[in-house]
């Protein structure tokens, strides 16, 4: 298969295979990838709107037993100085702050605490739903679900069912990293394996829960393993249709053992160009995903704005709080005005959304003529 034939395949709207995606990543000029990804984005979202959500990343605990080499956020169970479990009043205050500024969602994730079982999280979710019934709880992740199943000695499906009944609306795609066990054994040997992560996602979809899929790349994986990751989530999406979006970001080496080890070996972090290349290939390959989300928290506002021309149709979350990647040295939390300015600068019209990618913006779902004139969409050219 030649590069030209793969490009023609994409432009004809035909599905490409893993070998084709690998060829694009390795050989296609970045301008070609950008053109292809932008064309796929335009087909799926011709209205010229880029969305974002207002929420908060709330971490009930940072105590964790998985000891992942890439994490600078967690505390071991023995670290009484760094470790914490938030009390309910602190959680209530953080949630109310979010609601007060128009937040529509709480992203609830944390460490794998050895003594907090499914009952603790059931009570928390039910409590939050009783106080804020309209607030969307985007909660837990597959590794957390597996951990709770072990602590509470039940199945992962039962954990999901109980949490859903308590108020869990959807599940984030955290803990995916790279869905290849060679890589996982290297960077997170005590964490959920690839097959289990995928199985738990399918169980959530079977229960009617929507989820997201993620990928953290740019550490010890190969490009072929990135494509294998994309192929595995695409296969699940073919079966269930349960993923709302795909989000990828680059590994952040600050303050964690893996980063220190790699930097000492002469390794260099992934560049913006590598992020653009991988994201564009993901947009072309994941033909059954409607939405691709930019990662401005790790890439910065300007690079995230460029990624809107690399296939992304969503700017992500205007988070009130973020603790995990900021612990690794990233502190790119930007104001709503800056997010909207970045979206307009890329040639799109900004709108707020919810987790289901429904527009919840008072300006309505469709761009006005004045908005389209102020942020005209450049015509795609070969």
Give the span between the Cα atoms of 154 and 373, in whole angstroms.
56
Tokens of 263: 């930097």
Question: Which of 158, 177, 301 is CA-nearest to residue 229?
Answer: 177
pLDDT at residue 378 in the model: 59
pLDDT at residue 265 in the model: 94
Does 375 fall in a domain?
Answer: no
- pLDDT by residue (tens digit) across 141-192? 999 999 999 999 999 999 999 999 999 999 999 999 999 999 999 998 888 9
The pTM assigned to this predicted structure is: 0.91
Indicate whether 319 pLDDT > 70. Answer: no
Does 179 fall in a domain?
Answer: yes
Question: Which of 331, 222, 334 is CA-nearest to residue 274?
Answer: 222
Q: What is the rounded average pLDDT of the residues 316-320?
A: 77
Domain span at residue 69 reads 25-362
Does 121 fall in a domain?
Answer: yes
Does 10 fall in a domain?
Answer: no
CA angle 357, 283, 353 (to 5 degrees): 15
CA angle 317, 344, 303 (to 5 degrees): 60
Tokens of 238: 């073919």
Does 178 fall in a domain?
Answer: yes
Q: What is the rounded average pLDDT of the residues 8-22?
A: 97
The end-to-end CA distance of the chain, in Å, is: 21
- pLDDT by residue (tens digit) across 228-286? 999 999 999 999 999 999 999 999 888 788 888 899 999 999 999 999 999 999 999 99
Does 15 fall in a domain?
Answer: no
pLDDT at residue 323 in the model: 46
Number of Cβ within a 10 Å radius of residue 155: 12
Q: What is the rounded average pLDDT of the residues 311-320?
A: 87
**What is the pLDDT of the chain when averaged over all its residues?**
90
CA angle 214, 220, 222 (to 5 degrees): 80
Does 323 fall in a domain?
Answer: yes
CB neighbour list of residue 266: distance below 8 Å, 6 or more residues apart = none
Does 247 fall in a domain?
Answer: yes
**Residue 236, domain CATH:** 3.20.20.70
Tokens of 330: 């990233």
- pLDDT by residue (tens digit) across 116-128? 899 999 999 999 9
Indicate whether 381 pLDDT > 60. Answer: no
Q: What is the rounded average pLDDT of the residues 210-238?
A: 97
- pLDDT by residue (tens digit) across 362-375? 999 989 888 888 77
Compare 1 and 195 and report the one with higher pLDDT. Answer: 195
HSE-CB at 176 with a 13 A cutoff on CA atoms is: 28
Question: Which of 37, 14, 12, 13 is CA-nearest to residue 24?
Answer: 37
If one counts the domains in the chain, the total is 1
């Amino acid at each position: 298969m030649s590069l030209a034939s793969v490009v023609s395949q994409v432009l004809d709207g035909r599905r490409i295979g893993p070998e084709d995606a690998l060829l694009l990543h390795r050989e296609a000029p970045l301008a070609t990838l950008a053109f292809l990804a932008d064309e796929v984005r335009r087909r799926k979202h011709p209205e010229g709107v880029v969305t974002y959500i207002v929420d908060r990343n709330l971490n009930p605990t940072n105590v964790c037993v998985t000891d992942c080499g890439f994490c600078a956020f967690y505390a071991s169970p023995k670290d009484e100085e760094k470790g914490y479990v938030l009390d309910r009043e602190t959680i209530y205050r953080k949630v109310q702050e979010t609601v007060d500024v128009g937040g529509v969602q709480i992203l609830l994730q944390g460490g794998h605490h050895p003594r907090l079982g499914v009952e603790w999280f059931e009570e928390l979710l039910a409590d939050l739903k009783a106080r804020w019934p309209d607030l969307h709880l985007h909660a837990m992740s597959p590794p957390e679900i597996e951990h709770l199943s072990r602590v509470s000695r039940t199945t992962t499906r039962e954990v999901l069912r109980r949490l859903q009944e308590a108020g869990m609306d959807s599940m984030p795609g955290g803990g995916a990293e790279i869905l290849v066990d060679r890589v996982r054994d290297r960077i997170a040997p005590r964490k959920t394996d690839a097959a289990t992560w995928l199985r738990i996602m399918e169980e959530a979809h079977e229960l009617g829960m929507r989820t997201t899929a993620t990928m953290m790349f740019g550490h010890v994986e190969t490009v072929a393993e990135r494509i294998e990751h994309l192929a595995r989530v695409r296969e699940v999406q073919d079966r269930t249709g349960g993923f709302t979006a795909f989000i990828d970001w680059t590994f952040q080496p600050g303050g964690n053992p893996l980063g220190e080890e790699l930097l000492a070996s002469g390794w260099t972090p992934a560049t913006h160009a590598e992020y653009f290349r991988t994201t564009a290939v993901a947009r072309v390959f994941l033909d059954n995903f409607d939405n691709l989300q930019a990662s401005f928290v790790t890439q910065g506002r300007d690079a995230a704005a460029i990624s809107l021309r690399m296939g992304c149709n969503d700017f992500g979350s205007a988070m009130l709080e973020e603790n995990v990647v900021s612990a690794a040295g990233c502190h790119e939390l930007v104001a709503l005005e800056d997010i909207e300015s970045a979206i307009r600068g890329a040639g799109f019209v900004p709108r707020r959304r919810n987790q289901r990618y429904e527009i919840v913006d008072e300006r309505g779902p469709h761009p006005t003529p004045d908005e389209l004139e102020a942020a005209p969409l450049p015509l795609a050219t070969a």
